Structure 1
Amino acid sequence: MISEMLVGRSEAIASVRTMIRFAVKATTTVLVTGPSGSGKEVVARSIHQESDRADGPFLAINSGAIPSELIESELFGHEGGSFTGATSRHLGIFEQADGGTLFLDEVGEMPLSLQVKLLRVLEEGTIRRVGGREDIKVDVRIVAATNRDLKLEIGAGRFREDLFYRLCVLPIRMPSLGERREDVALLIEHFLKQNDKVEAPSFSADALDRLAAYGWPGNVRELRNLVERATIFFSGQQIVAKEVDLLLDIASQTANVAPNAVTTAEGGTVESAQPVASAPIFENGFSLQRHMQEEERRLIVDALVECGGVIAKAARMVDVQRTTFVEKMRRHGINRDDQLAA
């Protein structure tokens, strides 16, 4: 199972597998570090599925995607009437994960006030719902993750040193894709096999060389997205280096925008943007770049409508961080209130 979920033959990923095997045998907390998009949740899921908790729940929560005023309730639950809008008892994610594993993603973005309470849970194994008076015993294995340097965060006063050492009992560092370029071809093969709805494209040797040489600032997530784009536009065809450059260029050019204004679901205002018209990919014909921009905008709008305008929920629906989702709204000039009124 570990080898299936962590694709690759590089020394860097082999080291991760070794650390996971140690983690599986233990019950202690694990801290997974590494850049965004490198696959930290895959590490957490591998630990859970290989452990004796595999029959229990695996739940994940992004500490940076939930408004600070709601995160305590999301983690620990609340009693009915404990605050405005709390009409009934709500079980937090700790209680829901009882007997299983809880993945705390982006733990470095957790407010200091919550860090104290998380430390208490780790040390005592109990939680208390918001508005509650009783401590509730929970049996949850914690795997936390961050793309931040927590030692720098400690020095800046944004992260508790005692919590860091309580989380970092067993550290696992997930390498960037740039550190494991020899795994690119295997990852492409893995992602192509996951989509059996259309005929998969193939990649020529020069295309694979081009992809292996690319820097991958978005890491494995960026590679997965590129393979998905390739499947959409080159189904059943062979992709050569020229098409690889085209697919990479589409992603890089989506940031060409000009500022305006947009209202967020939380009622604040951020700088917005209208898409800037760019030269079509083909001088006379279909613009693949524009098509991808329109598809992204449609998905964001659909997610906002489906989630009633709650940005954090919509971001989770399309599998991006809340801050990234707001930035994409800004790029596409999307006003939440306009979409809900439509």
Structure 2
Amino acid sequence: MFRPLRSIRQPVLAAALLAACVAMTANAAELKSGLKIAFVPKQINNPYEVIADDGGMAAIKEMKGQGKVVGPSDAGASSQVSYINTLITQKQDAVVIAANDANAVVPYLKKAMSQGIKVVTFDSDTAPEGRQIFVNQADSESIGRGQIQLLSKLVGGEGEFAILSATPNATNQNTWIKWMQEELKKPEYAKLKLVKIAYGNDDDQKSFVETQGLLQAYPNLKGIVAPTSVGIAAAARYIQSSPSKGKVAVTGLGTPNQMRAFVKNGTVKAFQLWDPGQLGYLAAFAAANLASGTISGKEGESFEAGKLGKRTVGKSGEVILGPPTTFDSANIDSFNF
């Protein structure tokens, strides 16, 4: 009795598998081969940016494109301009940039787009007219509010704290800080007091010195939130060898490999981040789809992003990677990036 059913099932299953293979082949074929895609990080030597750029290069290799990373050694507002101009001259198919300033690079990115070069921002956005798509780590509001929620747990819901940011013009930092300040307005944080926003300019030594200055200026400080991978590591490094260890909570955004030693020695109890490699990977696929003409950056469009699957363009051309992870002593050894 069951043989006829099996014989029917087999061709149906084979047809379904064939259809799936055809669909996958069609999706792969939609991307042009040999696309030239350049990544422009905030800083060429920033550990976080290196991981993100490596993710982008891995994606470009998968799609048989030509990838390159070029950028400044400092995070100045206009330090990326000369690199953008060079990439325009080289006639890249797409530029993927983490902007040091929301406005300084816009005229040059607009020039690139006017010459047919597709522009994707990731990690740190420009003004919307400077790009077609912004690949965001996670929803900016949830990142900012989440930082305050985590800090509150670490300091017992009360006390003075400071924010150690990157540069004063960094779009992502300023957006997250805005949402931190919004979260602080809730009544449950009435006993938390933000005393200072300091800027380490995404420079390790300056962030280290800023941490020292915060502790000297605010002897009752209970916590430091550094929503920058350079800042959180520098703050932890200073505090681990100071009398403030165990008294001042350090949290923010950092990579597990960078922060593991500080978690192991008790300097840092918990911090957050997404996988920056996946962020770069997603940005590369967004750029490739733009350059291949499968999407234009309009809200509601969707595209295939390799191992990350199908992604949809949201409001104002935003594509979101996903929610951040909280890392602590219980789970940090499960991650390697």
TM-score calculated relative to the size of structure 1: 0.27
TM-score calculated relative to the size of structure 2: 0.27
